[in-house]
Amino acid sequence: MPHRPLNRLHLNSQMPSTFGAFRVTAFRLIWPSNFFSYVARWMQVTVISWFVLELTDSPFNVALVGFFHMAPLLICGVLGGVLADKRNKRKILISTQASNLFFSLGFLMLLVTNNATVWHGYLVVCTIGFGWALDMPSRRSIIFDVTGEKGLTNALALDSIGMHGSRMLGPTIAGTLITLIGTSAGYGIASLFYAISMLLIILVRVPSPQTLVSTGTNILSNIVQGFQYALSNRIILSVIVITIIMNLMCFSYLQMVPVIARDKLGVGPGLMGLLMGGDGLGSIIGATAIASASSLRRLGRVFLIGSILGFIMTFCFSLTTSFALAYPFLLLLGICVAGFGTLQSIIVISSSSPDMRGRALGIVTLAIGFGPLGALAIGVLATATTPSYAIMIFSSIGITLVLIVTAFSRGLRSQTTALS
């Protein structure tokens, strides 16, 4: 039975309302599918980080969780962009969620039988990272396919609310379950969420025809074309450079939260999970403000200012000595980086030609993949000094680099509309 081919056409002048994108049938399934997947991923990272800390009592080994989780983005991020341009995005998402579920259930069995080791944890977060690398460009660009140009800013802002909300809920749920029931229970719920995500994306019907690019079958040549395109587009290039800086120098702080929570702030896994989710709550507030904006102008400036303020908040967090002070700074951090995280994809999609959109997003995914290098570096520095001092140094270097890029990014500073 044929379905209406373009639900997105029904996005009219009312689209700028906060929840306007939910008028699209497909988006009402994509959003919760993404959300459950995001929550499951953050629950896994939290559970395994605590698991590794309890087994090894080593900040560096905890940092390795972040390294193995994000390293696949550096390896496969661009490949995920090629797949988004050349393959069915819905099928890509179904495949990655099935893989996530399979490996999650495997690690759960190891936890239940007390056979799990640190390296099992590293292997699982690495496989989840490969799924993330391969499906993230499809996950963001499929939103454009179902909402169209006029709905893009609102829809991506709503998806960012879910993404940032998961950063709050995932660690909080995981930390609470670890405290009340145990590690296995926290991981079991994460596995259930992957199953729900997969079932929801199976139900999605993407408008037909879905844009697929037929630019030959040579994957390497498509990857090279993507890099050439990104390097020649000054706005996209600026976004990529700042994304690298943020993931190297700013978001690496998260790897140190379990150690700071236990050793400096004196709290257990419950409050540790709440602390890890603090910036997620702030990001919900920031992303909701963006989704509610009827006419958001100066997108580039919001992106840049959010990045700069994010480093200021991580620096302030490094100075705190109590949970009561640490949590507000992470909340403010989330509000600030919502401008960075939400507008990142919007600016790249709006600045890309349709045939290069997936590959441009893939290179952004690769830029996010520099995060594991930051996780390793901050782990080494934290071991040699202290976690707080390491965050302080990273924040100082990061804000300096962003200010330099901002000075030379006139095109990005003047970016004012979502799509022309």
pLDDT in tens, the chain (420 residues): 444 434 444 444 444 467 778 888 888 999 999 999 999 998 998 889 888 988 888 878 888 888 888 888 877 777 877 787 777 888 889 999 999 999 999 999 998 888 989 999 999 999 998 888 888 888 888 887 888 777 777 888 888 888 878 877 888 888 888 888 888 888 889 889 999 999 999 998 876 544 445 545 567 787 788 888 888 888 889 999 999 999 999 988 888 888 898 889 988 888 887 887 788 788 888 888 877 765 666 778 888 888 999 999 999 999 999 999 999 999 999 888 887 877 888 888 888 887 787 788 888 878 887 887 887 888 889 989 999 999 999 999 999 999 999 888 887 877 655 443
Q: End-to-end CA distance of the chain: give it in Å, rounded.
A: 35
What is the pLDDT, as a whole number, of residue 142?
A: 86
Cβ–Cβ < 8 Å for 216, 364: no
CATH homologous superfamily of domain 14-211+219-413? MFS general substrate transporter like domains (1.20.1250.20)
Cβ–Cβ < 8 Å for 40, 194: yes
For residue 352, give the nearest of 152, 169, 107, 177 by alpha carbon. 152
Q: In 148-217, where does DSSP find H-type helix?
A: 152-180, 183-202
Cβ–Cβ < 8 Å for 111, 400: no
For residue 135, give the nearest of 354, 143, 123 by alpha carbon. 143
**DSSP 8-state secondary structure symbol assigned to residue 277:** T
Encoding tokens for residue 150?
């006029």
For residue 83, give the nearest of 407, 365, 298 by alpha carbon. 365
Residue matched to tokens 């139900």:
203
What is the pLDDT, as a whole number, of residue 40?
A: 93
For residue 173, give the nearest of 355, 38, 76 by alpha carbon. 38
CA distance 333 to 311: 8
What is the pLDDT, as a whole number, of residue 419?
A: 43
Residue matched to tokens 């000054």:
234
Cβ–Cβ < 8 Å for 247, 367: yes
Residue matched to tokens 């640190």:
118
CA distance 391 to 316: 10
Cβ–Cβ < 8 Å for 30, 204: yes
What is the pLDDT, as a whole number, of residue 39?
A: 93
Task: Please tell me the pTM assigned to this model.
Answer: 0.74
Q: Please state, as a whole number, how many other Cβ atoms lie within 10 Å of the Cβ of residue 119.
A: 11
CA distance 368 to 362: 10
CA distance 188 to 40: 10
Helix %, strand %, coil % of the chain (to 5): 80, 0, 20
Cβ–Cβ < 8 Å for 133, 77: yes
Maximum Cα interatomic distance, the chain, rounded to a whole number of Å: 64
Cβ–Cβ < 8 Å for 380, 60: yes
Cα angle 173, 175, 181 (rounded to 5 degrees) comes to 90
CA distance 354 to 364: 16
Q: Please state, as a whole number, how many other Cβ atoms lie within 10 Å of the Cβ of residue 115.
A: 9
What is the pLDDT, as a whole number, of residue 102?
A: 92
What is the pLDDT, as a whole number, of residue 416?
A: 59
